[in-house]
Structure 1
Amino acid sequence: MDGRHRGPLWRAIASAEDVAGRRDSWAQTVCLACVETFDRVDAAILALRGGSHAEEVLGASDPWAADLAEAQYTVGEGPGVEAFAAGTPVLVSDLRVEQVRWPGFAQAALDGGVAAMFAFPLQFGAIRLGTLELIRRGPGGLPSDELRDAVLAADLGAAALLRQARTAEVEGHEFAPDPVRSFQDVNVATGMLAAQLHIGLDDAFTRLRAHAYGRNRSILDVARDVLDRRIVLDELAE
């Protein structure tokens, strides 16, 4: 990949602006530039992660890519989850051969028309922030030059996020980029469930996740049903 071809991606990452509610916010621009830059990559996701509970999808090149990120959050597995936990890239050129590795996620992704995923941790030294994920509709790996550039894009993306956070601190306001898919409703529903059933937050989150998985639903949809009282919390007691 020549320098001219990479230019839009490097410029997108270098631009530290994030405008709430706009499709051309920083993370969205980076995701769109990834699709433009990498041959045969059909979508991209940029997610902030802080463990199994804490996640925000900052950018997704397409709504179906955001749905894919939500599917990983619902079942707690997948390339993005694993890349963040391990701190190393997870490269999957054919999801059909990973159905034993990620039984809850792989089939859902395949049913959605996804054939390959490549997840790169956003990390700077010992600080791990999230993941950059590239998605393909067809099977096949990334060429070596694109793999190298994807790793570099993830490293530069992590540095840009830290720079945004430090700028916000200096200016005296909270660093709160506007996500394209937020899971805050899950956090609130988890707290409600924990308080009513007198259980820990981890146990409450696990029950929400199990309820969603058992009914082939998104955990975000289940959480919103809990908040809107469409699900009685006693249903989640077991």
Structure 2
Amino acid sequence: MEDRRSLWHAVADAAGVPGQHVWALSVCRNCVTAVPGVDAAAVTLRATETAQDLLGASDDWAAALEDQQYTLGEGPGVAAFRTREPVLVDSLDIADQHWPGFTDAAQTLGMGAAFAFPLQFGAIILGTLDLYRRTPGALAGRARADAAGFADLITLALLRRNEQTHVSGEDWLPGMGSYHDVNIATGMLAARLGISLGDAFTRLRGHAFLLDRTVLELARDVIAHRIDVDDLGE
């Protein structure tokens, strides 16, 4: 009960914390502590299925799994955002039926199960709360209810803070941009090859998959000119 109360406070207080989303890290770590059977958590903001930004993750393992969803364009978080419904993956056997690419990556990273909850309020959807575990198994009824409740609290905290900053003119997201380099590289690719941003992103994602790298890693190489943009034109 104390762990659950601590998480509730962490989420509720989130809207009042300035800076580089330290609260998101706290929320994710508390989520791992409070929800039985969860080994890692991540909160990802999503504008579309191909545009996202990692707001916070409990550890590097969760962040790596989010990177794979972004690179491959598939996975429980992507599906939860698209359907606006919780996506509960008890084992990789279930995941393989829907996202073969993500399943391979998740298996390599040691994921056994994943549970994604949309961050939504009415018609507004902001992203997802993604929970991971290293072994297969369902999320128990009470744990599932708590996770859904935490997703609702995170959503309300984000909306409340957004309203406050709109009034004050404050930029609440100065640290946003975990995938900002991808946007820059996509623009460079589009300009150089004379293609749309959508086609440029698809090409960047495709080459990342072929090279067995994340989109973010490849984008940073493009920006640093470690990879010739023309090499991505094929």
TM-score, length of structure 2 as denominator length: 0.95
Which one is further off, 101-110 or 73-82?
101-110
Quote the residue 1:80 is aligned against: 77
Asked if 1:204 corresponds to 2:200, the answer is yes
Deviation at 1:191, TM superposition (A): 0.6
- The one-character-per-residue Cα deviations of 1:192-215 (angstroms, maximum 9, x if unpaired) are 111111110100000000000011
CA distance in 2, matches of 1:107, 1:54: 22
C-alpha spacing 1:107/1:139, structure 2 compared with 1 (3 Å): same
Quote the residue 2:10 is aligned against: 12
Quote the residue 1:96 is aligned against: 93
Contact 2:87–2:117 at 8 Å: present in 1 too?
A: yes
Which one is further off, 40-49 or 5-14?
5-14
Asked if 1:185 corresponds to 2:169, the answer is no
RMSD: 1.4
Quote the residue 1:142 is aligned against: 139
Quote the residue 2:219 is aligned against: 223
Aligned ranges for residues 1-238 of structure 1 at < 5 Å? 3-15=1-13, 16-21=15-20, 25-176=22-173, 178-179=175-176, 182-238=178-234
Deviation at 1:63, TM superposition (A): 1.0
Give the unaligned 5+ runs of structure 1.
none
Deviation at 1:125, TM superposition (A): 0.7
CA distance in 2, matches of 1:78, 1:177: 28
Contact 1:189–1:224 at 8 Å: present in 2 too?
A: yes
CA distance in 2, matches of 1:117, 1:21: 26
Deviation at 1:233, TM superposition (A): 1.1
Deviation at 1:155, TM superposition (A): 1.0
Give the unaligned 5+ runs of structure 2.
none
1:100 match: secondary structure? helix
2:77 match: secondary structure? helix
Equivalent position amino acid for 2:204 in 1: L
CA distance in 2, matches of 1:125, 1:52: 19
TM-score, length of structure 1 as denominator length: 0.93
Contact 2:49–2:81 at 8 Å: present in 1 too?
A: no
CA distance in 2, matches of 1:120, 1:89: 5
Alignment size in residue pairs = 233
- The one-character-per-residue Cα deviations of 1:182-233 (angstroms, maximum 9, x if unpaired) are 0000001001111111110100000000000011001111101111111111
